[in-house]
A and B are shown apart, each in its own frame.
Chain A
């Protein structure tokens, strides 16, 4: 576990900084191995957002505990909702503060107490609010496309006959799975929408092979987002990964339907 101490200097004999956001250095100590690393606070010279830069640095270094002189409520909240325990009101040298923390932890560190402390962190008002806010945002980001997909499904039912679909999906395992995977590869997006469209396809009489391959390719293969994936992860990785996911849709779709058939005691 990594413990960070906001300090005025770059070693354990330095004084703990009075304010977290403007500390010159962070000493990051691995509590198990004892390894010490020093990070300059990128926010110390910043005109604005010093605290946020410092938070980003600590999260990037996988810090789980922060020992500091003081810390603003906003920064404390950011750290705690990211699972960092914030201990303030510490003065003296970094070494003293670290030893004090270890003693406190040993004194109060029974399994039950630690679990209770974690539970109270999870159920804090800030955390509940943050979870509700995130959930709302995520739901809001899903709703428009989902609404559009539901509207499209309506159009499909109103204007497209099932026989048209059956000209492509003939009921044969191989071609159905292939065309299902092709359709899923071209389209992309939230898995939720693939369930809605997949459900509609099933209602229209398509085989479960085709629907399963469609849903698998929908999320794992992304021709639309391929340029973005190439830019982020490289051409070789992106092309291989998408090709492999496309091919993987076949055995997984076929195995899923066959296993289900065995479980149900009937033919696929």
Chain B
């Protein structure tokens, strides 16, 4: 990774937070309009919201704890180091770990991935990294709350396995072109 992308990461990226409130505000606006047309149904919708919100409270508390513990031991620079390998089975395996440990929106990771690609990183590990961003240990409490342990274990294992297949496939395609 180049110094440019590291400096960009160090300078922080908290500017997007304010804009993300537009979405819930817009949905609340829709509630307001629907209330004028159908107060009863809107009331039912709000009650359903409260039920979903309450059911999320406990898993979210676990999310905070796991997130804190992960942040205590994992840094973005650790993820960058894991992605440093250029190709091969080791690179694929390290990309799995890097993808799982990475946090934050994907847009924040594109500059780093672009840098790595410009410095010779292969397509396979990149694709594996992006796929494994779907596996988030700190969100597992919520997933388990909704779908249960067996489902989460089976799906997560198959996703990791699938990401490796994807990585190999992307390598083959890259070699052909």
Contacts and interface: CB of A to CB of B under 8 A. Distances in A.
Contacts of A128: 72
A154 B46 contact: yes
B131 A147 contact: no
Contact of A252 (B38, B104, B105, B159): B159
B24 A151 contact: yes
Contacts of B76: 82
Contacts of A190: 139
A127 B70 CA distance: 12
B97 interface: no
Interface residues of A, number: 77
Interface of B: 1-7, 10-11, 14, 16-17, 20-21, 23-24, 26-28, 30-31, 34, 38, 41-42, 44-50, 52-53, 56, 63-64, 67-69, 71-73, 75-78, 80-81, 84, 103-107, 110-111, 113-114, 117, 123, 126-127, 130-131, 133-134, 136, 139, 142-143, 146-147, 150-151, 154-155, 158-159, 162, 165-166, 169-170, 173-174, 177
Contacts of B130: 220, 241
B110 A240 contact: no
A155 B30 contact: yes
A240 B173 CA distance: 9
Nearest to A262: B154
Interface in A129-183: 130-132, 134-135, 137-141, 144-148, 150-155, 157-159
A191 B136 contact: yes
A232 B34 contact: no
B158 to A, nearest CB: 5
Given A220-B131, A232-B113, 7 more contacts: A62-B84, A141-B16, A144-B21, A159-B38, A199-B146, A237-B126, A256-B158
A41 B107 CA distance: 29
Given A42-B3, A195-B139, A260-B151, A83 B78 contact: yes
Contacts of B50: 154
